[in-house]
């Protein structure tokens, strides 16, 4: 990670030294500092803990109502049920199909959206043609437009193209809505590159695509990592586009999770619900813990406006 940090200097970073007074040994103030941090940490951790223990309890035990207690008799059956047997309406196939739908949606969407956005950023930094900045301005504006404002025209357009409720349709939708943030990200990254690099390549006779593939792409590793983190978590966690555009056969994991938990008729199996919830959160959580500080950088970079 430290080696990567060196090459990522064009990105915002959480940096430098803390300011607080140098800690002496144990003083009341120090204890107060840690007490506040530990209590806050509990606020963030307790729900996760409760989810995990609930998912490992049997239903009779859950009905006793000891939310925070450890399971008396441990069981992994809820996890198996959540993955294979949990019901959404009449189908009882568990989350497993949703998981694969999410994979099938996320992988191409991430790849396509990043390729397009990097070309956008490159063209906007080095090949500004007439009106290029107008289009970019519209895109930046789009980053702030609530999805609901454009969702219905998009439904109608995709319907006309026979792409509504299809896998290519949902991938196009994710590409569209990822474009503003990603384009801003890549444009800012390329704009911070030394212009000499580009000029030298131009003098050598390299053209638009040559410079892009030979020079820009190899130098884009750090920003691409940030973009991948941003897109994988964003698209995996999406619910709105999945439920509207994917179609029943392609519903992603989040949609199936919500259906399992919120549309059950009869008694609810809270342990299965919680196991299913953890399973759905597992992929983005893994991305988060593996990527570490890159994740924070992605959020900060995503929020910085052009």
* Residue 107 near another protein by CB under 8 A: no
Provide the β-strand partners of residue 88: 91
Q: Does 83 bind another protein (CB under 8 A)?
A: no
Interface residue with another protein, options 10, 179, 219, 225 (CB under 8 A): 179
Q: Is 237 a residue that touches another protein (CB under 8 A)? A: yes
CB of 72 to another protein, least distance (A): 15
Query: Does residue 61 bind another protein (CB under 8 A)?
Result: no
Does 129 engage in binding with another protein (CB under 8 A)? yes
17 binds another protein (CB under 8 A): yes
36 in contact with another protein (CB under 8 A): yes
The answer to whether 80 contacts another protein (rule: CB under 8 A) is no
Write down the least CB distance from residue 149 to another protein, Å. Answer: 5
Burial of 114: CB neighbours in 10 Å, binned 0-12, 13-18, 19+: buried
Contact range with another protein by CB under 8 A, out of 79-87, 92-100, 125-133, 193-201 = 125-133
User: Residue count at the site for another protein (CB under 8 A)?
Assistant: 101
190 binds another protein (CB under 8 A): no
Instruction: Report if residue 47 touches another protein, rule: CB under 8 A.
Output: yes
Closest CA to 284 of 103, 113, 116, 142: 103
Site for another protein in 243-282 (CB under 8 A): 244, 254, 257-258, 261-262, 270, 273-274, 277, 280-281
- For another protein, the binding residue among 193, 197, 225, 299 (CB under 8 A) is 299
């Amino acid at each position: 990670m430290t080696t990567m940090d060196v090459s990522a200097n064009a990105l915002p970073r959480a940096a430098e030294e803390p300011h607080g007074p140098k800690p002496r040994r144990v003083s009341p103030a120090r204890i107060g500092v840690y007490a506040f941090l530990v209590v806050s940490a509990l606020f963030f951790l307790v729900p996760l803990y409760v989810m995990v223990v609930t998912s490992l309890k049997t239903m009779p035990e859950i009905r006793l109502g000891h939310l925070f207690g450890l399971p008396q008799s441990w069981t992994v059956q809820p996890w198996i049920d959540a993955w294979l047997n949990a019901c959404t309406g009449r189908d009882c196939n568990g989350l497993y199909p949703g998981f694969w739908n999410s994979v099938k949606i996320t992988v191409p969407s991430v790849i396509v959206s990043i390729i397009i956005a990097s070309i956008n950023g490159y063209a906007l930094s080095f090949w500004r043609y007439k009106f290029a900045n107008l289009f970019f301005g519209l895109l930046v504006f789009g980053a702030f437009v609530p999805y609901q404002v454009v969702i219905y025209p998009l439904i109608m357009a995709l319907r006309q193209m026979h792409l509504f409720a299809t896998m290519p349709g949902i991938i196009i939708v994710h590409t569209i809505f990822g474009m503003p943030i990603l384009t801003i990200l890549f444009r800012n990254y390329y704009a911070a590159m030394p212009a000499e690099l580009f000029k030298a390549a131009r003098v050598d006779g390299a053209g638009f695509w040559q410079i892009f593939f030979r020079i820009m792409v190899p130098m884009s590793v750090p920003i691409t990592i940030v973009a991948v983190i941003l897109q994988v978590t964003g698209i995996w966690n999406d619910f709105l586009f999945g439920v509207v555009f994917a179609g029943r056969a392609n519903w992603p994991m989040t949609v199936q999770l919500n259906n399992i938990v919120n549309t059950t008729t009869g008694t609810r199996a809270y342990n299965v619900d919680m196991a299913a919830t953890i399973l759905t959160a597992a992929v983005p959580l893994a991305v988060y813990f593996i990527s570490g500080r890159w994740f924070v950088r992605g959020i900060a970079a995503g929020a910085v406006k052009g």
